[in-house]
């Protein structure tokens, strides 16, 4: 380690010249090239590198670990994990751009295994979290390797705070010797049939072997088509109270959702929940359906931190939305109910629910509101007017009379930034009225509108692009004259032949159906 303390001439670095240049002073903020060179020299002799870890400065650990990982030096990796001088090892960010190599990853797990096998932690052991999330701690390796100047500390990261507090208590009780405490592994999971996740396979084996000493924590969990028994096998190994973001993108029957519900209730720190494509069984009675719906909605009583709820293509909501709303303990920030059937009573319950009083994002895309009383929709907008920022009413079947009736409530949504209502049969006269009602909303920057009825050539929905261009230019001119030229209005319309959308802002972006043969 003498090489790290003295300059190339043998003189103490920094004493050769009494007046440092600004460049020399700046080099103190980034790992010097000398450290990188020393790390490369150590790796040429793996035994020497392992023996030097006890005296190795912490600044040299990240570049040396990166070099060992890239060159697949398994013995060095195993030893470095045991001596890692930071509270968190963000391995996921390092693995992000590299092809998975099972033996290299296994070497890291083996290093953890050696630590967990000890009755008392070593004096220098600081590692508390192995973070395998690929989008976390992006700057750590670049900062410590010297490719980017800056400061990066994992000591106080969000991932380590709960364990750090516990370990401080343990350390105060045990003196210098640290009491044995579980080590956390953070990972984002995607459960999908037919895809082999080798990282997950290795982790499950290790968690099972070190039960109680290694906690598998998952902040984001996505579930696609997979047998329920396989899902349960994985979730049995995961600390469910660590899940904060859950997406269930499965074509499940309501009875399958009922079997999953007990796992949902254990995710007490859940902040975002997306459930999609749940359908009713043709052979189930109404009483059986009600029981299974209650089994699912009652789990919301445990979700005290839920902020975002997204429900897509859920067949059991009609006539039952109130059961779910009653079980929500706190106000939501995001509520998205898309491609679902809702009754008049459902919309009334929604407009009166205390869960919407702080709503920032409301989406009702694909919910047919053609026959629903406009009063409930107007009350819904009035009750969210102080906080609502994004409103999506695409493909709701709203026509001129309904749209005109909600404009006064819409004009009071002072925080609104984005409003989308594509796919609704609206006339140019109502679009002009909308512009006049919303011109005073200073935060409103984007409006996605349907091609007005006057833009179509026929009842089949074929656009006349010349008419659309003329009407779009008229709206743009009105915006300029009203002093809001920066407010962006553009049209997005589904093609009646292929379903792709034609955008107009300010020139048309066409699907292939409009292109000449």
Which position has the token pair 């670095």? 13
Band of residue 364 on the pLDDT scale cut at 50, 70, 90 = very high
Which position has the token pair 């459930």? 275
Q: Which residue has the higher pLDDT, 494 or 16?
A: 494
pLDDT of residue 14: 38
Q: How far is CA 133 from CA 88, 108, 199, 203, 339, in A?
A: 12, 15, 11, 13, 32
Q: In 242-328, at which residue ranges do the beta strands (DSSP E only) sit?
A: 245-253, 272-279, 308-314
Task: Please determine, for residue 220, whether its predicted confidence score (pLDDT) is greater than 60.
Answer: yes
pLDDT of residue 210: 86
Q: How many whole angstroms separate alpha carbon 283 and alpha carbon 114? A: 55
Output the furthest CA–CA distance in the chain (Å, rounded): 89
Read off the pLDDT of residues 102-126 as tens digits, 9 standing for 90 and up. Answer: 899 999 999 998 888 887 666 667 8
Q: How many whole angstroms separate alpha carbon 498 and alpha carbon 362? A: 28
CB 46 within 8 A of CB 75: yes
pLDDT of residue 491: 87
* Nearby residues of 98 by Cβ (< 8 Å), 6 or more positions away: 69, 70
CB 342 within 8 A of CB 376: no
Read off the pLDDT of residues 367-414 as tens digits, 9 standing for 90 and up. Answer: 999 988 889 999 999 999 999 999 999 999 999 999 999 999 999 999
Band of residue 234 on the pLDDT scale cut at 50, 70, 90 = very high
Average pLDDT of the segment spanning 304-320? 96
From the CB of residue 167, how many other CB atoms can be counted at a distance below 10 Å?
18
Q: Which residue has the higher pLDDT, 52 or 61?
A: 61
Read off the pLDDT of residues 455-497 as tens digits, 9 standing for 90 and up. Answer: 888 777 788 888 888 999 999 999 999 999 999 998 887 776 7
Read off the pLDDT of residues 345-358 as tens digits, 9 standing for 90 and up. Answer: 999 999 999 999 99
What's the sign of the alpha-carbon dihedral 397, 401, 403, 406?
negative
Phi/psi of residue 35, nearest 5 degrees: -65, -40
Mean pLDDT across the chain, nearest whole number?
Answer: 83
Read off the pLDDT of residues 180-189 as tens digits, 9 standing for 90 and up. Answer: 678 899 999 9
pLDDT of residue 506: 65
Domain 367-517 has CATH 3.50.50.60: no
Where do the structural domains in the chain lie, given as residue ranges?
2-174, 367-517
């Amino acid at each position: 380690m003498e090489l790290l303390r003295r300059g190339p001439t043998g003189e103490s670095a920094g004493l050769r010249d009494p007046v440092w240049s600004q460049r020399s002073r700046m080099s103190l903020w980034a790992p010097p090239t000398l450290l990188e060179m020393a790390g490369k020299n150590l790796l040429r002799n793996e035994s020497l590198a392992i023996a030097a870890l006890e005296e190795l400065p912490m600044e040299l650990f990240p570049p040396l670990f990166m070099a060992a990982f890239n060159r697949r030096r398994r013995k060095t990796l195993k030893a470095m994990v045991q001596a890692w001088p930071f509270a968190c090892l963000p391995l996921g960010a390092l693995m992000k751009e590299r092809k998975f190599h099972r033996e290299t990853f296994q070497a890291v797990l083996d290093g953890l295994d050696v630590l967990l096998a000890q009755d008392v932690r070593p004096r220098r052991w600081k590692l508390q979290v192995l973070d395998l999330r690929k989008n976390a701690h992006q700057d750590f390796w670049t900062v410590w390797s010297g490719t980017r100047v800056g400061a990066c500390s994992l000591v106080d990261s969000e991932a380590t705070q709960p364990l750090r507090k516990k370990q401080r208590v343990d350390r105060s009780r045990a003196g210098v010797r640290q009491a044995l405490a579980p080590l956390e592994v953070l990972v984002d999971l995607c459960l999908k049939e037919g895809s082999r996740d080798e990282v997950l396979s290795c982790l499950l084996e290790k968690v099972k072997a070190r039960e109680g000493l290694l906690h598998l924590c998952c902040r984001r969990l996505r579930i696609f088509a997979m047998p329920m028994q396989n899902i349960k096998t994985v979730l049995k190994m995961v600390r469910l109270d660590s899940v904060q973001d859950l997406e269930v993108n499965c074509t499940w029957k309501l009875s399958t959702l009922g079997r999953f519900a007990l796992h949902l209730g254990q995710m007490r720190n859940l902040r975002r929940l997306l459930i999609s494509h749940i359908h009713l069984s043709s052979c189930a009675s109404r009483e059986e359906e009600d029981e299974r719906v209650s089994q699912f909605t009652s789990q919301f009583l445990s979700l005290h931190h839920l902020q975002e709820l997204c429900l897509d293509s859920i067949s059991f909501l009609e006539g039952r939305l109130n059961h779910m709303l009653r079980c929500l303990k706190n106000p939501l920030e995001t509520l998205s109910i898309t491609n679902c059937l809702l009754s008049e009573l459902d919309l009334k319950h929604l407009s009166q629910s205390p869960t919407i009083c702080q709503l920032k994002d409301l989406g009702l895309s694909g919910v047919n509101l053609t026959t629903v009383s406009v009063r409930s929709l107007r009350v819904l907008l009035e009750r969210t007017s102080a906080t609502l920022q994004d409103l999506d009413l695409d493909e709701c079947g709203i026509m001129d009379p309904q749209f005109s009736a909600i404009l006064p409530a819409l004009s009071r949504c002072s925080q609104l930034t984005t409003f989308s209502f594509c796919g609704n049969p609206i006339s140019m006269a109502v679009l002009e009225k909308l512009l006049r009602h919303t011109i005073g909303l200073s935060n409103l920057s984007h409006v996605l509108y349907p091609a007005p009825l006057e833009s179509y050539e026929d009842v089949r929905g074929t656009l006349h692009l010349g008419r659309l261009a003329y009407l779009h230019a008229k709206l743009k001119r009105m915006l300029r004259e009203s002093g809001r030229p920066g407010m962006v209005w553009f049209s997005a319309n589904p093609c009646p032949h292929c379903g792709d959308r034609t955008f107009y802002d300010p020139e048309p972006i066409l699907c292939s159906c409009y292109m000449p043969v």
